[in-house]
Amino acid sequence: SAVISQKPSRDICQRGTSLTIQCQVDSQVTMMFWYRQQPGQSLTLIATANQGSEATYESGFVIDKFPISRPNLTFSTLTVSNMSPEDSSIYLCSVIWGDYGYTFGSGTRLTVV
Amino acid sequence: AQSVSQHNHHVILSEAASLELGCNYSYGGTVNLFWYVQYPGQHLQLLLKYFSGDPLVKGIKGFEAEFIKSKFSFNLRKPSVQWSDTAEYFCAVNANNNNDMRFGAGTRLTVKP
């Protein structure tokens, strides 16, 4: 399956600041997905990122809070803006990879203090 | 949009016990179904998937799942669990006309040695 690298793996940030998470895939993919996994909860889709167009956001998520870039077919970034403690979560990027379905990165564990 | 329900939040079993984790989805059309496992401190891994064909799907590590279309269910089973199966298990659904994945709330499995 595709190999996904996410950076940083974890970070502790001050409230009011922003963090940009990078996702690198070892193959070209059309769509990349960003998920959030809050403590003790399941995964929630934040947005779908296509190369060359604006990301499509799910209900409850907005571009001002979670701007996404998709400059090419192997890379994407998710920014968590103006952070508050409620944003503490694991953020994961994911791609569809043939018969494997969805492959996930190892995630970015964000703690906002 | 499709949704997924996992009714068991936490299951505790002794080694060698049999396991069945429930998963129900709501969507009227054709779906692809997945089970993912997340071991403590690790990222999501695909356990098994159903796209079409034989509704009894065999995955890794002795797990299997049965798709029952009339019941909108995709329950995960293992005849004899091991301590190393302790993990969080997520059922997920992807509708054929969508590209995003919807996850259930997850079931935490604890296997006592």
Q: What is the pLDDT of residues B39-67, one digit of tens each?
A: 987 878 889 999 889 999 999 999 999 99
Dist CA A50 CA A106 (whole Å):
21
Q: Does B46 touch chain A (CB under 8 A)?
A: yes
% of chain A surpassing 90 pLDDT: 72
Tokens of B6: 């996992």
**Interchain pair A42, B34: CB under 8 A:** no
The whole-number pLDDT of residue A30 equals 87
The whole-number pLDDT of residue B40 equals 85
Dist CA B78 CA B20 (whole Å):
7
Under the banding of pLDDT at 50, 70 and 90, the label for residue B97 is low
Under the banding of pLDDT at 50, 70 and 90, the label for residue B78 is very high
Dist CA B48 CA A77 (whole Å):
29
- Compare CB distances from B49 to A33, A42, A101 and report the shortest one's residue: A101
Judging contacts by C-beta atoms under 8 Å, the chain B residues touching residue A99 are 49, 51
Closest CA–CA distance from residue B43 to any residue of chain A (Å): 5
Is residue A111 a contact partner of residue A8, using CB atoms and an 8 Å limit?
no
Quote the DSSP letter at residue B93.
E
Closest CA–CA distance from residue A23 to any residue of chain B (Å): 14
Quote the DSSP letter at residue A87.
G
The whole-number pLDDT of residue A100 equals 60
**Interchain pair A102, B106: CB under 8 A:** no
**Interchain pair A92, B100: CB under 8 A:** no
Cβ neighbours around A104 below 10 Å, total: 23
Q: Does B44 touch chain A (CB under 8 A)?
A: yes
The whole-number pLDDT of residue B29 equals 81
Judging contacts by C-beta atoms under 8 Å, the chain B residues touching residue A94 are 101
Q: What is the dihedral of CA A5, A8, A9, A12, to 10 degrees?
A: -160
Judging contacts by C-beta atoms under 8 Å, the chain A residues touching residue B100 are 33, 45, 48, 58
